Chains A and B, each alone.
Chain A
Amino acid sequence: MKREMTGAEMVLEALKDNGAKHVFGYPGGAVLPIYDAICQQEEIEHILVRHEQGAGHAAEGYARSTGKPGVALATSGPGATNMVTALTDALLDSIPLVCITGQVPSNLIGTDAFQECDTVGITRPCTKHNWLVKDVDDLAAVLHEAFYVATSGRPGPVVVDIPKDVQFATGTYTPPSPQKTQHQSYRPAQKGDITAIRAAVELLARAERPVLYTGGGVVNSGREASQLLRELAELTGAPVTSTLMGLGAYPASGKNWLGMLGMHGTYEANMVMHDCDVMINIGARFDDRITGRLDAFSPNSKKVHIDIDPSSINKIVQVDIPIVGDVAHVLEDMLRLWRCENMQPNPKTKEWHRQIDKWRARDCLAYRNSDEVIMPQYALQRLAAAVKGKDYYISTEVGQHQMWAAQFLPFEEPNRWLTSGGFGTMGYGLPACNGAQVANPDALCINVAGDASILMNIQEMSTAVQHGLSPKNFILNNSYMGMVRQWQQLLHGNRLSHSYTDSLPDFVKLAEAYGAKGIRVTKPDQLDDAIAEMIETPGPVLFDCCVAQLANCFPMIPSGKAHNDMLLPDEATDEAVANAIDEKGKFLV
């Protein structure tokens, strides 16, 4: 039904009509009309963050934990520029985000007006698309289009920049049309080419050493896709590995599970990738953390790549069978063909599974535990034991703790694991955890953090307290930027330039200052009780887990090395670590 209303009212109307229930935002001059509309309605709940970057990451956590788009709101100028990191983060990790920014009034654009910046210019390279709306009568259509673009195809962040006069102006609001009108120029594929799919299925049936290399695209595709992946693994018996972004799509308890692959992935996953004869890439993008040394990447395999974005295909690794389409659609076709033709896995895969068991027996995540100091891996194992069977979501910051969390915390379902993979944004975890908690108020939401990262958006504790959210920040406190220190040890003769944080705050007092709970543990035998206390505490917690300061994260494929050239924990003597990366490898990141 068409109705007359102001631009500001249209924003809220469009949010509702597109299914949004929450907005993460921060007010300012150029969005005052929208804030005025917010306080005069009840359907959309506004969560007041303490920094616009926090709004962006919270919206990301909300989106990743629900599969629905996250919505963020910021004022012009500094409000918009504070959002840039979160937008870029969402772009790299394919997270659907609709970000609305206020802009100076149309007649002042271009005059260096107060808090003016070229928001569409600044955010052009860090969004999937963006719009500056100059006419209130275009606003409704642009907002609907924004939701469509953010959520369809390969999801991503979009920005709608609205000048203040457009927010005040009255115009006609048209709801989104129920039958999705086709976009004029933007039409992502859904169904894959059936000939290619058939070829892929036949290849998989003939394979002697198959692997399913899955990624964030399975999570993006929706719950259905994870279900179909499980069926495919079951029918074909193929082992499954996943990137950091796809954890949970295949359950960690599943019998085909190899663990994460890549730089800090498991020995078995990387050996399988290296030695396989058929690799089915399902919604992953051959990232450099995965491929390692390109000319030695899985040298003897035929490769199939299922991806909704044609630009992901043949970007880094040339594949034999490209399939452009949505994971769920393509897997459905694959399963149908497999079943119709009554295909069976190649009997020779038995030998492959025996080999894989041998690699598994290498126990690549083993570490030397201690009664005196808490090993970070041990802390995470105790955390895993404590949350087992609970309805939990885990976010992380960026660093060693992130990798350990990926290695040691099990995920049985998609959308439970929220991490900044592509951009590696320190400061992502706490706000993302808040966002997940807003979307899942009864769930246990934990942010596995490092002492350095947590300080990047620590102000979001205040958001959590105000809005009754209860992020449990599990800080693996080693006083170092551990990941940086590890690389300095590997690459720079252990000269630890500026990677030690002197004068860290007392996290217990800091929590109390925010009106939250602080818990500190220093001894391994205190862990279980303290973790239980953290979980039982109703509000936000800063859990200061003082861990071994110099632990390194292994296994690791050193830069410039191949998958079968991993540095394993039991081999990583100081000397091996010092010489792991050669001169050429030092140029890489």
Chain B
Amino acid sequence: MNAKNVDALSAYFLEDLENNQETHTLSIVVDNEPGVLARVIGLFSGRGYNIDALSVSETEQRHHLSRITIITTGTPQIIEQIRHQLDRLVPVHKVTDLTVEARRKGHEKPLERELALVKVRGQGENRLEALRLAEAFKATVIDATTEHFVFELTGRTNKVTQFIEIMRPLGLIEVARTGVVALCRGSASMRDEMAADI
């Protein structure tokens, strides 16, 4: 689907990548079994879909279910394809396009958060400045010596990115980010729509 050389002559040249691209957050409930993440990721790479961010962990131990959150970019038609293609995988219980859900309920976006660990090395004024800024961002210090801090920061992707950029001139040396996790606002849950016997 990455073809840019020829206009829409054949199915191989579906749509121009640049046209009406949207970013969507998908939440996927899957059986927590070996290989399930490979299936999901293989689907994206095999069909040429984008993964902007990905996070995964078991969320319901009793039922051995994991939740995968993927942020992807594509035309509305491609995003619909992605949803159906994911749904086709046998161990996938449910796929929700949280962006569509949020819009449907009149919200701009679903609830999205990311966690980052940010290591900053430095001394003197830079060190103090880093600490002051961390406070302003509500980041907490989870490790320190006289030469470094490790900050923990949670927030929207924008905020995390901004924090990292600010730390760069102050001695930033290492970053780890979780990728986004997301839920719908409101009292409803994905479980409500899933098969009752799960």
Residues of A within 8 A of B (CB): 120-121, 124-125, 128-129, 132, 149, 182-187, 286-288, 291-295, 309-311, 313-316, 318, 559-560, 584-585, 587-589
User: Which one of A128, A184, A587 lies within 8 Å of B198 (CB-CB)?
Assistant: A184
CB neighbours (8 Å) of A294 from chain B are 8-11, 14
Asked if A584 meets B88 with Cβ closer than 8 Å, knowing A184-B195, A185-B93, A314-B77, the reply is: no
User: Which one of B88, B91, B197 lies within 8 Å of A311 (CB-CB)?
Assistant: B88
Number of A-B contacts (CB under 8 A): 83
Q: Are A149 and B90 neighbours in the complex by a CB distance under 8 Å?
A: yes
Once the chains are docked, how many angstroms separate the CA of A315 from the CA of B80? 9
User: Which one of A128, A149, A295 lies within 8 Å of B8 (CB-CB)?
Assistant: A295
Interface centre among B5, B6, B14, B93 (most CB of A within 10 A): B6
Near A by CB (< 8 A), chain B positions 76-127 give 77, 80-81, 84-85, 87-93
Residue in chain B with minimal CB distance to A183: B90
Asked if A293 meets B93 with Cβ closer than 8 Å, knowing A124-B38, A124-B42, A316-B14, the reply is: no
Once the chains are docked, how many angstroms separate the CA of A389 from the CA of B87? 45
Asked if A124 meets B35 with Cβ closer than 8 Å, knowing A311-B84, A318-B77, the reply is: yes
Residue in chain A with minimal CB distance to B15: A294
Besides A286-B11, A588-B13, 15 other A-B contacts (C-beta < 8 A): A124-B39, A124-B42, A132-B35, A182-B195, A184-B93, A186-B90, A311-B81, A311-B84, A311-B85, A313-B84, A314-B80, A559-B10, A584-B9, A587-B5, A588-B12
Once the chains are docked, how many angstroms separate the CA of A176 from the CA of B87? 25
Once the chains are docked, how many angstroms separate the CA of A316 from the CA of B81? 10
B186 interface residue (CB < 8 Å to A):
no
B31 interface residue (CB < 8 Å to A):
yes
CB neighbours (8 Å) of A121 from chain B are 35, 38
Tell me the dominant secondary structure on chain B's binding face.
loop
Once the chains are docked, how many angstroms separate the CA of A487 from the CA of B89? 37
Least CB distance, B64 to chain A, in whole angstroms:
10
Once the chains are docked, how many angstroms separate the CA of A66 from the CA of B91? 29
Once the chains are docked, how many angstroms separate the CA of A120 from the CA of B33? 13
B46 interface residue (CB < 8 Å to A):
yes
Q: Are A310 and B11 neighbours in the complex by a CB distance under 8 Å?
A: no
Q: Are A588 and B90 neighbours in the complex by a CB distance under 8 Å?
A: no
CB neighbours (8 Å) of B93 from chain A are 184-185
Q: Are B10 and A125 neighbours in the complex by a CB distance under 8 Å?
A: no
- List 12 interface pairs A-B (beta carbons < 8 Å), by A numbering: A120-B35, A128-B90, A129-B90, A129-B91, A184-B197, A288-B11, A294-B9, A295-B8, A310-B84, A310-B87, A311-B85, A584-B7
> Quick one: CB contact mask for B1-32 with A, threshold 8 Å, 1 for yes?
00001111111111000000000000000110
User: Which one of B6, B12, B35, B90 lies within 8 Å of A288 (CB-CB)?
Assistant: B12
Q: Are B5 and A185 neighbours in the complex by a CB distance under 8 Å?
A: no
Q: Are A293 and B9 neighbours in the complex by a CB distance under 8 Å?
A: yes
CB neighbours (8 Å) of B88 from chain A are 309-311
Once the chains are docked, how many angstroms separate the CA of A294 from the CA of B9? 6
CB neighbours (8 Å) of B12 from chain A are 288, 588-589
Once the chains are docked, how many angstroms separate the CA of A588 from the CA of B93? 37
CB neighbours (8 Å) of A293 from chain B are 9-10
Once the chains are docked, how many angstroms separate the CA of A69 from the CA of B84? 25
Once the chains are docked, how many angstroms separate the CA of A546 from the CA of B5? 42
Residue in chain A with minimal CB distance to B11: A288
Interface centre among A120, A124, A182, A589 (most CB of B within 10 A): A124
Interface centre among B42, B89, B90, B92 (most CB of A within 10 A): B90
Interface centre among A186, A286, A295 (most CB of B within 10 A): A186
Once the chains are docked, how many angstroms separate the CA of A84 from the CA of B30? 26
8 pairs of A and B residues whose beta carbons are closest in the complex: A311-B84, A288-B11, A129-B90, A185-B93, A560-B9, A310-B84, A186-B90, A588-B10
Residue in chain A with minimal CB distance to B76: A314
Once the chains are docked, how many angstroms separate the CA of A313 from the CA of B85? 11
Least CB distance, B84 to chain A, in whole angstroms:
4
CB neighbours (8 Å) of A587 from chain B are 5-6
CB neighbours (8 Å) of B35 from chain A are 120-121, 124, 132
Once the chains are docked, how many angstroms separate the CA of A8 from the CA of B130? 65
Least CB distance, A107 to chain B, in whole angstroms:
16
User: Which one of A120, A184, A589 lies within 8 Å of B31 (CB-CB)?
Assistant: A184
Once the chains are docked, how many angstroms separate the CA of A121 from the CA of B88? 18
Residue in chain A with minimal CB distance to B82: A311
Q: Are B90 and A585 neighbours in the complex by a CB distance under 8 Å?
A: no
Least CB distance, A189 to chain B, in whole angstroms:
11
Once the chains are docked, how many angstroms separate the CA of A585 from the CA of B13? 11
Q: Are B81 and A315 neighbours in the complex by a CB distance under 8 Å?
A: yes
CB neighbours (8 Å) of B42 from chain A are 124-125
> Quick one: CB contact mask for B30-71 with A, threshold 8 Å, 1 for yes?
110011001100100010000000000000000000000000
